[in-house]
């Protein structure tokens, strides 16, 4: 049997290599492209995934006192609120209570510092905040080695007027240092109780308690001539309580601080304040805002809230890499007059006696005080509404009276226009009679001629037709003159209509023709035939034009009879239609130009001075304008403009 080596011929292999189909290749390429695109989008859209998140900074707060002191809550809340509002990067806050007031031996303090140093050894402390009271011993002994020179912010109490200790003025260090003001609280107590005869000073037995008690006792010396001074500094609690229960009338109490009793028992000053105010028969004044709302009347107190806010502002500057040594310590603006409204009522103290700028806590408001703005808003709303209604009633009555006066004035105005037209036509009565006499005479002559032709037996139709046509023409001429005069004299309302200015000017020129003949005036017309119409009262515009023409006729009365010419012209000035009357008289005195259109102003002895005033009133009523000016050569020109009607 012939055998063939399987490895030498691929075709002899039982498993033949398979070539991929074209469709499968395309699907593989498409899948690879999709995966690549998704990766690019992921990298572009979420760059933060490829980078490490911002490393939080560490803030360590060491509090010298024990856990639970209310002052710490006020300080920390104020400080953290300020930092949170102004610093967006992540922060890790660490807080520790050292309780050095009760464990103040060197070896105890050293053990506490060593413990915290070891505890936070692995962390970089970016800001150390040390909160008193009584940090001086700790920083005197351990300050140079405390957390490897981290930027440090101190919050502590220092006596007023004492220079900032050198141990708090080292590099990378600043702080907020408040000073208790026993004098301010004593002065407030004596002001609010002018009949006080005894001042009682209470303080505990800790170092800080005794220090504040001695400060208060020293401050009270200035009042020895006025009141009796009694103190319980480091006195056992039971003995002190028994004494305050038996105080004589007209006594006041100043409770400074009470953290430790004479027997070594630890207390919160708030607890002691609450107990003293409950059992004492005298008002209690304090030095710290944390003790005002537990029975203390108040006083010129250290505001731990303000201390926290100032500390927060400094902490922000340090966290923003500002050198602490360049930040001035804050020592002012940390006290305020603060009082409890409930205690003011209990002891019958009027608020008017409080020092200016005092803060009053826990004020109980009456319904009116609680809803003052709502009540005032409601009252104001109804008051304004009533006033508005009354005003509308008065306005309506005034409007009715005004409407009556307007109607009367309008009636008088229309009557004035009619009288003015009548007066002008009266001046032209002779000319109009002469002008009418001509067509009437012509009619009579034509009629007589026709009768003669008929008597003579001449009945040629063409001659009769010609005579009749002359009669009709002369009749129409007379009718036109009569209609023009009648329109000028009618008393009805001046209805406005679309008016061709050229036709209006031609019609009034025909009415004036007889007057022109009598006065030997040559009337010329120059019309712009492309003018659009205007919306106007034909009668009133004719009155304006007639007034201007008669005035021009009077102006030329002194001219020689062959030198009297009146030009009536129409034209356009932008969107306005213009009508002008020009004469060749002596012109207008420049001193009179500004007064021509005033009522009752005239230069004629027989005139009333109303003609041009009426002209201006009519043109103004048509939203137009009228003016007078002297011609460059001689004579005067009166021009009025009216708005044209678009697409008329």
How do 576-582 and 198-203 pair as beta strands?
unpaired
pLDDT: which is higher, 647 or 354: 354
Mean pLDDT of 565-574: 93
CA distance 641 to 623: 9
Mean pLDDT of the chain: 82
Q: Does domain 57-178 have CATH number 3.90.25.10?
A: no
Q: Which helix (H) or strand (E) holds 199?
A: strand 198-203
Highest mean pLDDT among 210-219, 492-501, 506-515, 550-559: 210-219
| pLDDT(303) > 90 | yes
CA distance 483 to 507: 10
pLDDT at res. 109: 73
Peptide bond preceding 422 in cis form (omega within 30 of 0): no
Cβ contacts of residue 540 below 8 Å, gap of 6+? 417, 494, 618, 621, 622
| pLDDT(112) > 50 | yes
Structural fold of domain 494-648:
Heat Shock Protein 90 (3.30.565)
| pLDDT(21) > 60 | no
| pLDDT(10) > 90 | no
pLDDT at res. 582: 95
Handedness of CA 155, 159, 160, 166 (dihedral sign): negative
User: Do 57-178 and 494-648 have matching folds?
Assistant: no
pLDDT at res. 34: 55
Mean pLDDT of 537-556: 86
| pLDDT(399) > 70 | yes
Instruction: Give the homologous superfamily in CATH for domain 182-287.
Output: Response regulator (3.40.50.2300)
The answer to whether the beta carbons of residues 178 and 307 sit under 8 Å apart is: yes
pLDDT at res. 7: 39
Lowest mean pLDDT segment, chosen from 222-231, 382-391, 425-434, 503-512: 425-434
Mapped onto helix, strand or coil, the DSSP state of residue 560 is coil
CA angle 380, 385, 391 (to 5 degrees): 125
Span 428-491: which CATH code? 1.10.287
Q: What are phi and psi of 221, to 5 degrees?
A: -60, -30
| pLDDT(12) > 70 | no
Q: What are phi and psi of 183, to 5 degrees?
A: -60, -45
Q: Which two tokens stand for residue 296?
A: 């203390």
pLDDT: which is higher, 43 or 499: 499
| pLDDT(170) > 60 | yes
Domain boundaries, the chain: 57-178, 182-287, 370-402, 428-491, 494-648
At residue 49 the predicted structure's pLDDT band, cuts being 50, 70 and 90, is very low
CA distance 114 to 146: 9
CA distance 447 to 467: 8
């Amino acid at each position: 049997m012939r055998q063939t080596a399987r490895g030498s011929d691929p075709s002899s292999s039982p498993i033949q290599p398979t070539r991929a189909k074209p469709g499968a290749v395309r699907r593989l390429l498409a899948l690879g492209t999709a995966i690549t695109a998704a990766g690019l989008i992921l990298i572009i859209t979420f760059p933060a995934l490829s980078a490490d998140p911002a490393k939080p900074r560490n803030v360590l707060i060491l509090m010298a006192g024990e856990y639970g002191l209310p002052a710490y809550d006020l300080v920390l809340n104020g400080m953290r609120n300020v930092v949170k509002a102004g610093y967006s990067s992540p922060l890790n806050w660490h807080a520790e209570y050292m309780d050095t007031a009760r464990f103040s031996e060197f070896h105890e303090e050293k053990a506490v510092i060593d413990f915290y140093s070891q505890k936070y050894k692995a962390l970089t402390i970016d800001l150390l905040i040390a909160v008193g009271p009584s940090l001086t011993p700790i920083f005197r002994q351990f300050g140079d080695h405390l957390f490897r020179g981290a930027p440090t912010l101190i919050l502590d109490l220092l006596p007023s007027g004492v220079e900032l200790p050198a141990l708090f003025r080292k590099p990378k260090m600043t702080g907020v240092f408040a000073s208790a003001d026993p004098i301010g609280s004593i002065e407030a107590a004596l002001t609010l109780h002018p009949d006080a005869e005894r001042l009682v000073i209470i303080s505990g037995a800790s170092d800080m308690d005794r220090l504040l008690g001695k400060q208060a006792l020293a401050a009270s010396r200035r009042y020895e001539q006025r009141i009796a001074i009694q103190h319980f500094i480091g006195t056992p609690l039971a003995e002190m309580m028994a004494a305050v229960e038996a105080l004589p009338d007209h006594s006041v109490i100043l409770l400074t601080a009470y953290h430790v009793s004479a027997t070594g028992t630890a207390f919160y000053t708030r607890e002691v304040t609450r107990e003293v105010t409950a059992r004492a028969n005298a008002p209690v004044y304090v030095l710290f805002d944390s003790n005002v709302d537990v029975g203390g009347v108040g006083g010129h107190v250290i505001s731990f809230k303000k201390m926290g806010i100032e500390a927060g502002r400094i902490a922000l500057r340090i966290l923003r890499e500002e050198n602490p040594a360049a930040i001035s310590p804050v020592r002012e603006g940390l006290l305020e007059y603060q009082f409890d409204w409930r205690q003011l009522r209990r002891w019958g103290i009027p608020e008017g006696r409080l020092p200016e700028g005092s803060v009053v806590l826990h004020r109980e408001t009456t319904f009116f005080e609680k809803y003052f703005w709502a009540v005032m808003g409601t009252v104001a709303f109804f008051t304004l509404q009533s006033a508005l209604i009354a005003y509308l009633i008065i306005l309506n009555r005034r409007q009715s009276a005004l409407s009556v006066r307007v109607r009367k004035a309008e009636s008088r105005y229309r009557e004035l226009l009619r009288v003015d037209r009548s007066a002008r036509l009266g001046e032209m009565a002779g000319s109009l009679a002469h002008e009418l006499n001509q067509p009437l005479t012509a009619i009579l002559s034509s009629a007589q001629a026709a009768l003669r032709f008929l008597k003579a037996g001449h009945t040629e139709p063409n001659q009769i037709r010609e005579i009749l046509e002359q009669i009709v023409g002369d009749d129409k001429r007379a009718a036109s003159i009569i209609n023009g005069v009648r329109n000028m004299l009618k008393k009805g309302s001046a209805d406005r209509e679309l008016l061709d200015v050229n036709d209006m000017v031609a019609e009034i020129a025909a009415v004036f023709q007889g007057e022109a003949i009598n006065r030997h005036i040559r009337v010329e017309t120059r019309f712009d035939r492309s003018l659009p119409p205007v919306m106007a009262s034909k009668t009133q515009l004719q009155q304006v034009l007639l007034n201007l023409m008669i005035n021009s006729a009077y102006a030329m009365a002194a001219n020689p009879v062959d030198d009297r010419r009146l030009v009536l012209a129409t034209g356009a000035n932008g969107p306005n239609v213009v009508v002008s009357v020009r004469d060749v008289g002596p012109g207008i005195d420049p001193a009179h130009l500004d007064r021509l259109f005033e009522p009752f102003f005239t230069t004629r002895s027989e005139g009333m001075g109303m003609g041009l005033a009426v002209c201006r009133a009519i043109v103004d009523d048509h939203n137009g304008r009228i003016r007078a000016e002297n011609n460059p050569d001689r004579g005067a020109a009166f021009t009025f403009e009216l708005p044209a009607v678009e697409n008329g």
